[in-house]
Structure 1
Amino acid sequence: MERNETAKGPVGQTETENGKSAILGLQHLLAMYAGAVAVPLLIGTGLNFNSEQMTYLISIDIFMCGIATLLQLTVNKFFGIGLPVVLGCAIQAVAPLIMIGSDKGVGAIYGSIIASGIFVVLVSGIFSKIKKLFPPLVTGTVITVIGLTLIPVAVEKMGGGVATDPSFGNGTNLLLAFVTIGLIIIIQVWAKGFIKSIAVLVGLVGGTILAAVLGQVDLAPVGQATWFHFPQPFYFGTPTFDISSILLMIIISIVSMVESTGVYFALGDITGKHIGEEELKKGYRAEGLAVILGGIFNTFPYTGFSQNVGLVQLSGIKTRRPIYYSAFFLVALGLLPKVGAIAQIIPEPVLGGGMLVMFGMVAVQGMKMLSKVDYNNDKNLLIIAVSIGFGLGFNMIPTLFQQMPETVRMFTGNGIVMSSLTAIILNLLFNGLKSEEQTDRL
């Protein structure tokens, strides 16, 4: 039978296949874009950066997200986990970095980031040996908590982005959010093949078009952005190495490694790829290298983005090809801020609708992993109940520990970390360390 797509692309695909992979890559980019730019926006605002500094910060952040993702995709004997994972700035680093910048100066921010990246590379081999600490009981619980703790973020965006805003939850915002969700559901249920796999992208585009008709699309970010920007090492000056700041960022790096471990196991479960010590070690090394580069080019620490896990599950496309395109797009957008700003015109309610579906899929993936757990063992039920309770409860009311020292609050205020630690500790107490075969049934 004749094929009309005979020309081959740069990776041996036909032009049609390359086009499909590129569109899927764009979908992944849009899924993580808001989360990626949130970190530089929050930190830059917290440190009172001017507009020129903010432009650099956002552009280099997007550029380095692409570089960091490529490091994970490129598998060799030293680094790269080879999963369809997208790396973005770790949101848990925002408050500590603002605190370091305010107390010690911007140089201390990047000195501590570089040092923490070196730490991650050095301990990657040791950290990779803890796979037995993450049976389905633990990883399923953590992935479920990741999805559930992110859903309120999506809901807030559905209402307009800021719950205290007078326009929050108005009819227009709700219409945009629910139309986006409705489009995703319709495409996912009734569409076939490739169109079904880009349901989220169709929802975001459709929601944005409706928003434009209603006059809710702001083109100002495109007009204000420059045409070209090139990464510059040590843009904000020479890094300084303050011991207390370095220790603080090492703690944040450990938190990010725990979160990334959950992302790796979730993607391994979705794609059917075995994740052992070697894969984890190379994954951590890639993240460590990305963090070091982030410090040199004055951006921030990186971790696996869980929203893209939900997108892999929802689209059903489990190869790395679309992620390669997403990484290349991120690099290009980092060099062309005006083009990259186009993604910023997607209204908050539209993003919120898409994020709600994706975060819900992350939680469902965790529940799917929990289906492997032996529920005849009442202790397992208790481990899941307490871990999810701690993860969601402490995340919702972080002020519960406001009388505790800052170091303690850094852990207790992060529901994902508390859920991880609780599940690991209780599993060790009740079940002990099992063999890999036993672990897969736990």
Structure 2
Amino acid sequence: MYSGSVLVPILIGASLHFSSEQMTYLVSIDIFMCGVATFLQVFANKVFGIGLPVILGCAVQAVTPLIMIGQKYDFQTMYGAIIAAGFFVFLISGLFAKVRKLFPPLVTGTLITVIGLSLIPVAFQNIGGGSTTAKSFGSMQNLALGAITVLIILAINVWAKGFLRSIAILVGLIVGTLIAGGMGMVSLSPVAQAHWFHVPTPFYFGVPKFEWSSILTMVLISLVSMVESTGVFFALGDIMGRKIEQDDLKRGYRAEGIAVMLGGLFNTFPYTTFSQNVGLVQLSGIKSRKPVIFSAGFLVLLGLLPKAGALATIIPAPVLGGAMLVMFGMVAVQGIRMLQQVDFHNDKNLLVAAISIGLGLGVTVQPEIVQFLPKTLQLFCSSGILMASLSAVILNLLFNAKHPAPEMDSETGLNEKDE
């Protein structure tokens, strides 16, 4: 939970050139809000909360769009888009519980694949040292640190078991930072300068601004998060022997909408249900909500201690890049795994995925292609995630609305007709 919560603010803060003081606040409050968001989802009531042992953390798919909004506009516009997206999620929670079929594995798998692939260049930039204009970018020292971090994570996944294996990325970050410290690449001054205690402050970076293309971007990202959360809810329901009804989904979406709005108000990020938690519940066999409640409380406590947050900001860029390479690669592969459920013997499905992935990666690699469009349309059309989302949804409706294509069974390799 901690490593997943910390990476997103560090990545966005570094890309938007936050000061060390701002980064400390960003990380600390983000950890705090992850705990709060989890409480909202775990403690179910008639209005919000699904009441399953779920963990909420930062939505990785929001990284690239938020960086784009922050760079093209400012922090306030970024947080305004987050607040508006959270409000949108809360409003459509009941409707989305009915129309989730608009997002079959063909659409979500394509989108998640694009998200992972579009983030990998950012990981490589960090492995090189962070700033491409720096003289040390791509130095042997930076490349070695990034490679060592990746190898540590791989080694733990190969030889370790249980809990240690589940925190492989966190261990990789810690060990990589210790090695970098031995090489003189770590400064503890942000920790020394940080306060021992602080109180979360609404609108820390200023009053939010609302801009339509930024809001639309974050709304689409929120829809993707809702689709992912739906899968997590059903998976956990299956593990626990609990049937997930439409009302359960509605309360779960509402809890996420409130969490996203709070994230914008306290100047952090959108929150979504962590899919990794499904594996942990299955692996441990512990289906009670108590461990999740204690974990959320621990995150809230850590978030009130800036020195704890400041520790995360001293991670060198190459170490962070190594961990990001693994994480974002896994996101892409998760999308590919979802696409395994799709029957690609059907040329229509093949076209939907091919064109959507092509559009998404194309504008990600060459955003200058839209440089002559109006500023608001530039943000819209230069977002690979946004273009892939629209393309996949529209093409899937165009080709498969009347006669939905049978999905491939991931275990037998047969589609419904073959069976």
- Relative to the length of structure 1, the TM-score reads 0.76
Q: Where does residue 10 of structure 1 map in the other structure?
A: none
Asked if residue 292 in structure 1 is aligned to residue 265 in structure 2, the reply is no
Residues 301 and 125 of structure 1, relative CA distance in 2, 3 Å threshold:
farther
Specify the alignment match of 1:397 in structure 2.
366
Q: Give the number of equivalent residue pairs.
A: 400
Contact 2:20–2:313 (8 Å) recurs in 1: no
CA contact (8 A) 1:37 1:62 kept: no
Asked whether the equivalents of residues 394 and 400 of structure 1 are also in contact (C-alpha less than 8 Å), the reply is yes
In the alignment, the residues of structure 1 paired with residue 216 and residue 303 of structure 2 have an alpha-carbon distance, to the nearest angstrom, of 29
Aligned partner of 1:190: which letter?
W
User: Residue in 1 aligned with 2:191?
Assistant: 222
Aligned to 1:14: none
**The 10-residue stretch of structure 1 (213-222 or 88-97) with the greater mean CA deviation from structure 2:** 88-97
Letter in 2 for 1:219: L
**Residues 235-263 of structure 1, C-alpha deviation per residue, up to 9 Å, x if partnerless?**
677x58x7xx2645542441231231353
Quote the residue 1:251 is aligned against.
216
**C-alpha distance in 2 between matches for 1:339 and 1:158:** 24
Counterpart Cα distance in 1 of 2:290 and 2:403: 36
The answer to whether the 8 A contact 2:55-2:277 is kept is no
Distance change in 2, residues 1:123/1:193 (3 Å): closer
Q: Structure 2: give runs of 5+ residues left out of the alignment.
A: 410-414
Question: Which residue matches 1:16?
Answer: none
Cα distance change on mapping 1:269 and 1:169 into 2, 3 Å: farther
Cα distance in 1 for partners of 2:367, 2:160 equals 42
Tell me how far 1:229 sits from its aligned partner.
0.5
Shift of 1:346: 1.9
Aligned position for 1:23: none
The answer as to whether partners of 1:113 and 1:301 remain within 8 angstroms in 2 is yes
Q: Secondary structure at the match of 2:135?
A: coil
Give the fraction of aligned pairs with identical amino acids, expressed as a percent. Answer: 49
Equivalent position of 1:302 in the other structure: 270
1:261 paired with 2:231, answer: no
1:22 alignment counterpart: none
Please state if 1:29 is matched with 2:2: yes
Q: For 2:133, which of 164, 173, 190 is the aligned residue?
A: 164
TM superposition score normalised by structure 2? 0.80
In structure 1, C-alpha distance between the alignment counterparts of 2:99 and 2:333, rounded to whole Å: 25
Amino acid at match of 2:6: Y
Letter in 1 for 2:397: L
Distance in 1 between residues matched to 2:6 and 2:184, nearest whole Å: 22
Deviates most, 145-154 or 287-296: 287-296
Instruction: Map Cα deviations across residues 202-233 of structure 1 (whole Å, 9 max, x no partner).
Output: 32222222212222222111012111111244
SS in 1 for 2:58: strand
CA contact (8 A) 1:29 1:326 kept: no
Distance 2:22 2:155 in 1: 42
| Residue aligning to 1:64 | 33
CA deviations on 1:168-205 (whole Å, 9 max, x unpaired) are: 12111111111111122122112233333332233222
SS at match of 1:304: strand
Is there any run of 5+ residues in structure 1 with no aligned partner, and where? 1-27
* Higher mean displacement: 204-213 or 327-336: 327-336
> Residue 338 of structure 1 is aligned with which of 307, 320, 338?
307
Shift of the 408–187 alpha-carbon distance from structure 1 to 2, 3 Å rule, reads same
The corresponding residue for 1:415 is 384
- Matches of residues 126-165 of structure 1 in structure 2 within 5 Å? 126-165=95-134
1:51 is displaced (CA, Å) by 7.7
